[in-house]
Amino acid sequence: MLIEGRRWSIALLVLCLAAPVLMAARQAPGGSGAGTRQDRPREIGATQRADLRTWDSEIGRMVREGELRLRASETDLLLGGRRHQRFDQYHRGVRVFGGEMVRQRDGVETVSVFGTAYAAIDIDTTPTLSRQDAATAASRLAGTSRGPARTPDLMVVPRDAGGFALVYRVRLVTDDDLIVYFIDAGTGHLVSSYSDLQTEIGTGTGVLGDRKKVSTTLSSGTYRAWDQMRPATVYTFDLKGDLTRTQRFLNGLITLDVSDTSASTDNTWTDPATVDAHAYTGWTFDYFYKQFGRSGLDGRNLTIKTVVHPVNRADWNKVSSSTLNLYYLNAFYAGDGIMVYGEGLPPNATVGGYKWNYFAGALDVVAHELTHGVTDYSSGLIYKNESGALNESFSDMMGASVEFYYQPVGSAYLKADYTLGEDLTTPMGGFRSMANPGAFGDPDHYSKRYLGTSDNGGVHTNSGISNHAFYLAIEGGTDRTSGLSVTGVGSAARHKIEKVFYRAFTQMLPAGATFSLARAATIQAARDLYGAGSNVEQAVTQAWTAVGVS
Amino acid sequence: MKRRCILIQACAVAVVAMAAGRVDAQTSGKWTGTAYLHVDGGVQAATPGFTSNVTFKLYGEDGTLTATYTFVNAALIAGRGGFRIWGNLGLGVGVSRFSRNGEAAISARLPHPFHFNQFRNVSGTAGLTREETMVSAELSWLLRPTRALDVMLFAGPAYFTTRQDMATLPRYTETYPFDAATFTGVESRAVNKTGVGFTAGLDLSYLINKHMGLGSLVRFSRATETFSAAPGSASSVTLGGVQASAGLRLRF
């Protein structure tokens, strides 16, 4: 019986011993092999099979020994089955600043290994300085203080002169900079530092009371309407109602700098003209980039300078009618990437039966003016007679298109429609209608074109002809004068018509283009982009025919 | 994994019961020693994961980060020691510790720099470590079905000390026009928490001689604590779980 009891005991013991073994078997083993140790900082770029085997082994060893820790494993969205593993390097449990390896895997196969790994680190990782002391040392350097919510990070950093240092990394914001300090965790001395200043995003309220984001820059403790996040720098200058200075700037007699840009102490922007001018300029830049791949006004990210408050609103009834019409009730492109937005009128003042708000408050107006800049640097349509009407018309087309890109369709404020400048006035009005030019006294047919000399030969009047063609090519419908119907591409395909007109107006038309040439160029553009006989080509052809341009 | 451990434990109990039945007739089943000391290595089975949600400010708007933590098996070291206090009843202390690299699935909604309510979704995984130490006071009942076999049932309160890396902010790259972003990892911080729970288990020892043997243990421990990755974020986290280990057994 004793033997029988022992058998049971052995069986039981084996069973229990097997449990941890069985469970351990579920743990995925890492790679094996010693790999090659590095003696000095080394850039790794392994793509060959033999190298990859070595680095697989080395990564496996470093992970097992705690020298590498997996920080992220990301699915490759471009190549199915691929993953990218990102490892941080550690030395005795402390992260090594800049030590990182990235391994690309295809299933279980390694495809590439890239990284920077530091070897021969042999410093103690026990700090003698407390985190608080490190924060205090950094604060002393920066001349500002840091709260307890932001804890310094203990790290190992390679020294510029060679070797390594155990440091605390401390980020501090000063009046005009954001500085990352590396404070020696033993002595409290500065090991190194760098500026980590980044552009900021503020928020503000626009002319019509809507909240927007504003791309700004913190400079000398003040947030500036200075957009550095886009490929083209955008400045919005606040001329504070100084017409003389405005005119001197526009005439090139003075230059403006960052100190002239609109400012905010807390990045919460309350000047609605600045908010809308700055935000809408960025939106328009984005539209041209995303829709057509265009890099700004000149295609090379020309700096955009926007002027708000060119005059004093309160002086509106003391100025000449020409000043009123130019700087209060107008917006214009002044060349060289400079845009000026009219001041509008004081709240209870009216002109023509309307109250007029800041001209920067209408997205289509801002896009219209910026498009003049695009035309200026592309076809250069001469601002007179038919080519001038086409110039104006192209700005209207892009103005409406930008609205449709960002705003919901509708007939209220902040809605996308085919009326230009409707958001500027109370009651809601506008300057021109692309859907029905006649509503504002503009021609919807070539036979009704203005042939006089005023307004540079009717550039703001005859634009109605090509505006209506653009509208009909998208939405379809019947021209009221000719009675001819057009089958439009539909609002869901409006981007096709936008591309056709953009292509023709910026890349195909000569400076002295006529309506007839615009017809031919847009039809050719439709063929180029969507094929001969396509519904786009047919819509464009029908639209020009309907408005009487052959 | 938990099911497998429970199955093993049930089998072990059944076998012990059968063995004990056979032994009753030929041994006294008495524990005659005064003390015991066990040193083990083993495996901490996968434990239930948890989710943490963190809200952060980006570009003047609230972004969110959701981290779903899952835990695979981890190697552990453990030890137990105690004294016989009366008959087959003993009182002792158990200690176990493990560290494991859990993988958290991260998803984040990043506000757009230029527009409100136009979020970019990014996702990926991040390796986030958990270290857990359990100290337990254990009341043990020892059966000796044969001269060579000790069967020890034990239970008692357990005190957990846990260090959990928790994701606090997403890392990403983005380029103009910022309509999409690419996940590159997370910022994390170590959250240290303690908690009280319980532990219970079964230890089987096969004695090679009067003072030394080999043995194996299966135990289950449990506590629940609330972890906070950031202000306003709270996650209920289960500590402990199933452990299986084996190692040296000493009798005094």
- Topology of the domain comprising A201-361: Elastase; domain 1 (3.10.170)
CATH classification for the domain delimited by A42-117, as one of 3.10.450, 3.40.630, 3.90.75, 3.40.50: 3.10.450
**Close Cβ partners of A146 (under 8 Å, ≥ 6 residues apart):** A135, A138, A139, A170, A172
Q: Enumerate the CATH 1.10.390.10 domain ranges in chain A, comma separated.
A: 378-550
Residue A196 is predicted with a pLDDT of 58
CB contact under 8 A, B215 and A211: no
A 10 A CB-CB count for A159 gives 12
CA distances to A49, A242, A256, A311 from A253, in Å: 66, 14, 10, 18
| Bridge partners, A419 (sequence order) | A433
A355 or A49, which is more confident?
A355
Q: What's the gap in Å between the CA of B124 and the closest CA on chain A? A: 5
Residue A8 at interface with chain B, using a CB cutoff of 8 Å? yes
Cα–Cα distance for residue pair A100/A85, rounded to 1 Å: 10
User: Which residue among B72, B113, B145 places its CB closest to the CB of A5?
Assistant: B145
Residue A15 is predicted with a pLDDT of 36
Residue B12 has pLDDT above 60, yes or no: no
What single-letter DSSP state applies at residue A140?
A: H
Cα–Cα distance for residue pair A326/A310, rounded to 1 Å: 10
Section A171-190 average pLDDT: 78
Residue A194 is predicted with a pLDDT of 74
Q: List the beta strands (DSSP E) in A197-283.
A: 200-205, 211-219, 222-224, 226-227, 234-238, 263-264, 268-269
Residues 189-228 of chain A whose Cβ lies under 8 A from any Cβ of chain B: 201-203, 211-213, 215
Residue A141 is predicted with a pLDDT of 86
Question: Which domains, from first to last, does chain B contain?
Answer: 2-251 (2.40.160.20)
Residue A348 at interface with chain B, using a CB cutoff of 8 Å? no
Section A269-280 average pLDDT: 98
Section B25-34 average pLDDT: 65
A149 or A263, which is more confident?
A263
3-state secondary structure B185-226: EEEEEEEEEEEEEEEEEEEEEEECCCCEEEEEEEEEEEEEEE
- Topology of the domain comprising A131-195: Nuclear Transport Factor 2; Chain: A, (3.10.450)
Asked if B160 contacts B195 with a C-beta cutoff of 8 angstroms, the reply is yes
Residues of A with catalytic function: 369, 460
**Cis ω for the linkage preceding A427 (within 30 of 0):** yes
**Close Cβ partners of A80 (under 8 Å, ≥ 6 residues apart):** none
Q: What's the gap in Å between the CA of B112 and the closest CA on chain A? A: 9
Q: Enumerate the CATH 3.10.450.40 domain ranges in chain A, comma separated.
A: 131-195
Global ipTM: 0.75
* Residue A68, both tokens: 């590498």
Residue A276 has pLDDT above 50, yes or no: yes
Cα–Cα distance for residue pair A433/A309, rounded to 1 Å: 27
CB contact under 8 A, B18 and A8: yes
Lowest-pLDDT range, A12-21, A113-122, A223-232, A536-545? A12-21
Section A298-313 average pLDDT: 96
* Confidence band, pLDDT 50/70/90 cuts, at residue B14: very low
* Confidence band, pLDDT 50/70/90 cuts, at residue A178: low
Which residue is associated with the tokens 């906070």? B228
Residues 224-243 of chain B whose Cβ lies under 8 A from any Cβ of chain A: none
Asked if B130 contacts B71 with a C-beta cutoff of 8 angstroms, the reply is yes
CA distances to A327, A427, A509, B154, B195 from B138, in Å: 87, 83, 90, 6, 17
A406 or A159, which is more confident?
A406
Residue A33 is predicted with a pLDDT of 27
Q: List the beta strands (DSSP E) in A381-511.
A: 419-420, 425-426, 432-433, 477-478, 485-486
Cα–Cα distance for residue pair B31/B17, rounded to 1 Å: 17
Q: Which CATH class is domain A378-550?
A: mainly alpha
Q: What is the mean pLDDT of chain A?
A: 88
CA distances to A54, A58, A59, A93, A206 from A32, in Å: 10, 8, 9, 21, 62
- Phi and psi, residue B129, nearest 5°: -85, 145
- A109-117/A153-158 β-pairing: unpaired
Q: What's the gap in Å between the CA of B70 and the closest CA on chain A? A: 14
Convert the pLDDT of each residue in A10-62 to its tens digit. 443 333 334 333 333 333 323 322 233 333 557 788 888 888 999 999 999 99
Cα–Cα distance for residue pair B251/B148, rounded to 1 Å: 12
Which residue is associated with the tokens 């099979």? A49
Residue B232 is predicted with a pLDDT of 85
Cα–Cα distance for residue pair A235/A340, rounded to 1 Å: 12
Cα–Cα distance for residue pair B50/B43, rounded to 1 Å: 20
**What percentage of chain A carries pLDDT values higher than 70?**
89
* Confidence band, pLDDT 50/70/90 cuts, at residue B231: confident
Q: For testing the chain B interface, which of A13, A22, A67, A169 should be mutated: the one with the most B CBs within 10 Å?
A: A13
Cα–Cα distance for residue pair A460/A442, rounded to 1 Å: 8
